[in-house]
Amino acid sequence: MIEILKNKMTPESILTAGFGVEREGLRVTQQGRLALTPHPPIFGDKLKNPYITTDFSESQIELVTPVFYSVDETYDFLEALTDIVIGEIGENSELFWPYSMPCNIPDDNQIPIASYQGEEGKKARQYREKLMVKYGGKRQLISGIHYNFSFGEEFLVTLWQELGTEESYKEFKDRIYLKVLRNFLRYRWLIIYLMGCTPGLHNSYIEECLQCMGDCGNDTYLSPGGTSARNGSCSGYKNEIDLYPDYSSIKDFIGSIDEFVERGDISEAKELYAQIRLKPKDYRNVLDSLAKDGIQYLEIRTLDLNVFDKCGIAKIDLEFMNVFMLFLLLEGEEFFDTWQQEALINEVAVAEHGLEPDLELLDHRHWTLKTAWADDILEKVAEVNEYLSLNQEKCIKEMQNRVKNPETTYAHRLKLLMQEKGCLDANLEVAKGYKKQSDEDHYRLKGFENWEMSTQILIKEALTRGIKVKPLDAADNIVRLEKNGHREYVKQATKTSVDNYITPLLMENKVVTKIILKENGLPVPDGEEYFSLWEAKQKLVKYVGKKVVIKPKSTNFGLGICIFDQGGTLAELLEGARIAFEHDNTILIEDYIPGLEYRFLTMGDEVVAVLHRRPANVIGDGSATIQQLIDEKNKHPYRGDGHTSPLKKIELDDQSRMFLKKQGLTNQSVPTKGEMIFLRGNSNISTGGDSIDFTEKMHPYFSEIALNAASAFSAKFCGVDIILEDYSNPDSNYGIIELNFNPMIVMHAYPYEGKERRLGYNILKTIGLVD
């Protein structure tokens, strides 16, 4: 088989597999107690949100990634979901417990069982109520990682065709997955050693389980040499008796499950708490679907939450699991009657004594030193990697190091922390660290960093609310959103099906925009347009000394705009015209309207945000030059390229140098302490301006004006720029200077000053995907 892979497939195609991760975790208070609050309503119907749901308890969140075909994509998406959950539950001052074993938990009668809606929800609730009675609530709160794996289609088809077997493709697939499953059961002890991360318990856990460990104070019980209490014989979550299904074939497996149910050992197939499960196409009819459709993928349930990774599993461990699954396929098998019993003995031994240096395990009925056997297995994995040129040396060497140096294992490292700080404080400290990390980077959506910020905001909101997201084109920022059969295609967050095609065409033409606004009784500045620099030279003389604005006819983001709020010489006006002509072949000169500029963001029939955009500026400290002050201000975490960051870094260009020159300044001038120096006249965020939220402060009269302006163009999404002298006085002079058809929303969502606005919801509401 390995020769077929080497000769018929590339290393990339061998490693291309279907990956998915389910990550469970408890919501806890700041003191480490189980949060008894309901599942956050923003996540919607638990049975319909494909990404964020609950497990057994209302307090137990489960994150589910879609299937990806690379480890990087899988991990990034899991991190995005993790950040979303940490942020949302943080609104209620709750933390995402990073440890597989429960926090400070109450008695069973106070543990909230997850509640659901509808007939299907009623069945889900009843099933959990039975589990509560049969196994107790405290065990149900154990959380972990479920690693879902399937070989790539090209991989399986190539093997099937090259091996030339007479069996059908479905039969071949079943045989392949059953072999991997059997070998995983044989070698699962190694994964428990390498990735186990539950060395102890909080004293609120089950009393009989605490007695199996040592009391080390701080309400903490630790296993002297254990790696995974979750996988141990006492503390873990297992069936009431050991069950050994027949994995010889799908038919034999189904027969054994039917027998377990008939005997009353389990109520249905999904109650078999195996370390690895065969997953069907139809999860509602597990056995029938396995018989009809075959095995779709394998679900590995052995993995503890890795406390040392925010996502609960490290990327390097995901990389190792990929090559390990390949090893399990290629490794031979030796059958004997008690092979499953032997595998269970090894599982428990490593879970409870894995850090003990002289631990021996059963290998084909013979005792062998754990470290020697682990080295042998990992050497075989390394040989597969080298022979197939898979370039997975890094993750394999990491696992070899954990065997050679047990102090580097997660279990040992966490044990030291829990000895020092106790179970609660050690894990609370980690949880708070992850909360801080997520908060500091909350405006970035992991895996979508190359998408422009407005689209990231929309995608994040959709994921949060359980709306299916299908990225289609990152370069064009096009995504497909779907909920309950309703599909919407969105480009750049606000280009959607609800706006007419003509709307943006009208708005991008500033002359037409002014005509339509005037026809609707809305005030706009007077002015005229020029079609060449020669024409500008002939006509600009009449504007010398007057307060005017020169700008391109059709442009966005404040490009090419020069403001002469104190008037300008003919030379200065001509330079402004030259700059404007760099961005369009037609330019406008308009009267300057005194006052401050405000952006009104309209969605649907409401103004959802208002902000004042302060032109790019620096504030002097009495010693630094303007250039030094710019460099320092650009270090703000929100400032970047303006597309993948909320704010744009300030850059000195011809316009800003001219603006400084009119003030008698250069970039080497030193402003006095507290003196604000403006670097340009236009206030666009895209040219380094500051965004200051005014949503609550703005008088509703002006919001109504903005809505009227958007309505004149039948625009559902619009950015209305209004200059007014007093935002609190409806009698104040004002003028509409521009309408924007694809308004930047990130400056409202993450302003430089003021309240952050949650605008992803408003977009989804406007396109009909949420109420």
Q: What pLDDT does 645 receive?
A: 82
- The yes-or-no verdict on residue 643 having pLDDT over 90 is no
* DSSP-derived secondary structure letter, 198: B
pLDDT digits (tens, 9 = 90+) for 277-297: 999 999 889 999 999 999 999
281-285: long-range pairs with CB below 8 Å, 24+: none
Give domain 596-766's CATH number out of 3.50.50.60, 3.40.1390.10, 3.40.50.11540, 3.30.470.20: 3.30.470.20
Q: What pLDDT does 555 receive?
A: 64
The two structure tokens encoding residue 413 = 């490292």
Given pLDDT bands bounded at 50, 70 and 90, which one contains residue 560? confident
Q: What pLDDT does 761 receive?
A: 97
Between helices 453-464 and 71-90, what is the axis angle to 10°? 70
Q: What pLDDT does 426 receive?
A: 98
The two structure tokens encoding residue 1 = 């088989």
pLDDT digits (tens, 9 = 90+) for 355-411: 999 999 999 889 999 999 999 999 999 999 999 999 999 999 999 999 999 999 999
Q: Which amino acid is at 20?
A: G
**Which of 323, 447, 456 has its CA nearest to residue 391?**
323
Q: How far is it, in rounded angstroms, from Cα 683 to Cα 691?
A: 9
Q: How far is it, in rounded angstroms, from Cα 507 to Cα 516?
A: 10
Strands 587-591 and 548-552: antiparallel
Q: Do domains 526-591 and 596-766 have the same CATH topology?
A: no
What sign has the CA pseudo-torsion 91, 94, 100, 105?
A: negative
**Which of 63, 108, 69 has its CA nearest to residue 86?**
63
Largest CA distance in the chain: 101
Given pLDDT bands bounded at 50, 70 and 90, which one contains residue 681? confident
pLDDT digits (tens, 9 = 90+) for 209-218: 999 999 999 9
**Which of 562, 549, 553 has its CA nearest to residue 509?**
553
Q: What pLDDT does 557 receive?
A: 61
Size of the chain, expressed as the number of residues it contains:
771
**Residue 75 or residue 655, greater confidence:** 75
As a whole number, mean pLDDT of residues 459-470 equals 98
Vertex 476: Cα angle to 471 and 482 (nearest 5): 30
631: CB partners within 8 A, 6+ apart? none
**Which of 305, 323, 321 has its CA nearest to residue 313?**
305
- The yes-or-no verdict on residue 627 having pLDDT over 70 is yes
- The yes-or-no verdict on residue 67 having pLDDT over 90 is yes
Instruction: Give the helix ranges, DSSP H, for 596-724.
Output: 626-633, 654-662, 700-712
Q: How far is it, in rounded angstroms, from Cα 431 to Cα 429?
A: 6
pLDDT digits (tens, 9 = 90+) for 189-207: 999 999 999 999 999 999 9
Q: What pLDDT does 726 receive?
A: 96
Q: What pLDDT does 354 receive?
A: 97
Architecture of the CATH domain 2-440: 2-Layer Sandwich (3.30)
Calculate what percentage of the chain has a pLDDT beyond 70: 99
What is the chain's mean pLDDT, rounded? 95
Given pLDDT bands bounded at 50, 70 and 90, which one contains residue 556? low
10: CB partners within 8 A, 6+ apart? none
Which region among 58-62, 175-179, 540-544 has the lowest average model confidence (pLDDT)?
Answer: 540-544
**Which of 712, 683, 711, 697 has its CA nearest to residue 755?**
697
- The yes-or-no verdict on residue 559 having pLDDT over 90 is no
What's the distance, Cα to Cα, between the start and end of the chain in Å?
54
Radius of gyration, alpha carbons of the chain: 32
3-state SS, residue 41: helix
Strands 297-303 and 276-279: antiparallel
Given pLDDT bands bounded at 50, 70 and 90, which one contains residue 511? confident
Residue pair 579/589 in contact by the 8 Å Cβ criterion: no
Q: How far is it, in rounded angstroms, from Cα 275 to Cα 595?
A: 68
3-state SS, residue 235: coil
Q: How far is it, in rounded angstroms, from Cα 385 to Cα 362?
A: 26
**H-helix or E-strand spanning residue 537:** helix 533-539
Q: What pLDDT does 424 receive?
A: 98
Phi, psi (degrees; rounded to nearest 5) at 143:
-120, 160
Q: What pLDDT does 558 receive?
A: 65
Phi, psi (degrees; rounded to nearest 5) at 185:
-60, -40
Give domain 526-591's CATH number out of 3.30.1490.20, 3.40.50.1360, 3.40.50.300, 3.40.50.720: 3.30.1490.20
The two structure tokens encoding residue 600 = 């009104």
Q: Which amino acid is at 582?
A: E
pLDDT digits (tens, 9 = 90+) for 414-457: 999 999 999 999 999 999 999 999 999 999 999 999 999 999 99
Q: What is the pTM of this model?
A: 0.91
**Which of 627, 645, 633, 631 has its CA nearest to residue 685?**
645
**Which of 149, 146, 197, 140 has its CA nearest to residue 302?**
146
3-state SS, residue 551: strand
As a whole number, mean pLDDT of residues 549-561 equals 79
Q: How far is it, in rounded angstroms, from Cα 95 to Cα 641?
A: 32
As a whole number, mean pLDDT of residues 525-549 equals 93
The domains of the chain are located at 2-440, 526-591, 596-766
642: CB partners within 8 A, 6+ apart? 648, 649, 685, 686
pLDDT digits (tens, 9 = 90+) for 94-122: 999 999 999 999 999 999 999 998 999 99
Q: How far is it, in rounded angstroms, from Cα 483 to Cα 770?
A: 9
Q: What pLDDT does 510 receive?
A: 84
As a whole number, mean pLDDT of residues 522-551 equals 93
Q: How far is it, in rounded angstroms, from Cα 398 to Cα 100?
A: 23
Vertex 292: Cα angle to 291 and 293 (nearest 5): 105
Which region among 265-279, 297-311, 550-564 has the lowest average model confidence (pLDDT)?
Answer: 550-564
pLDDT digits (tens, 9 = 90+) for 390-405: 999 999 999 999 999 9
Could you write out the three-class secondary structure of 720-739? EEEEECCCCCCCCCEEEEEE
- The yes-or-no verdict on residue 181 having pLDDT over 70 is yes
Q: Which residue's entry shows tokens 């799908």? A: 250
**Which of 420, 24, 412 has its CA nearest to residue 195?**
412
61 pairs with which residues across the strands?
A: 25, 54
b/e sequence 266-279, b meaning 16+ C-beta within 10 Å? beebebbebbbbbb
As a whole number, mean pLDDT of residues 484-488 equals 97
Distances 452 to 107, 534, 561, 606 between C-alpha atoms, Å: 48, 38, 23, 24
Given pLDDT bands bounded at 50, 70 and 90, which one contains residue 88? very high
**Which of 234, 232, 237 has its CA nearest to residue 198?**
232
Residue 555: how many CA atoms within 13 Å on its side-chain side? 21
Q: What pLDDT does 532 receive?
A: 95
Q: How far is it, in rounded angstroms, from Cα 362 to Cα 343?
A: 8
Q: For the chain, how many helices (H) and strands (E)? A: 26, 28
Q: What pLDDT does 554 receive?
A: 76
CA 537 to chain centre: 54
Calculate what percentage of the chain has a pLDDT beyond 90: 90
Give 86-139 as a DSSP string.
HHHHHTTT-EE---SS--B---GGGSPBP---HHHHHHHHHHHHHHHHHH-HHH
Could you tell me where the beta strands, DSSP code E, fall in 238-393? Answer: 276-279, 297-303, 360-363, 366-369
pLDDT digits (tens, 9 = 90+) for 721-732: 999 999 999 999
Strands 647-648 and 639-640: parallel
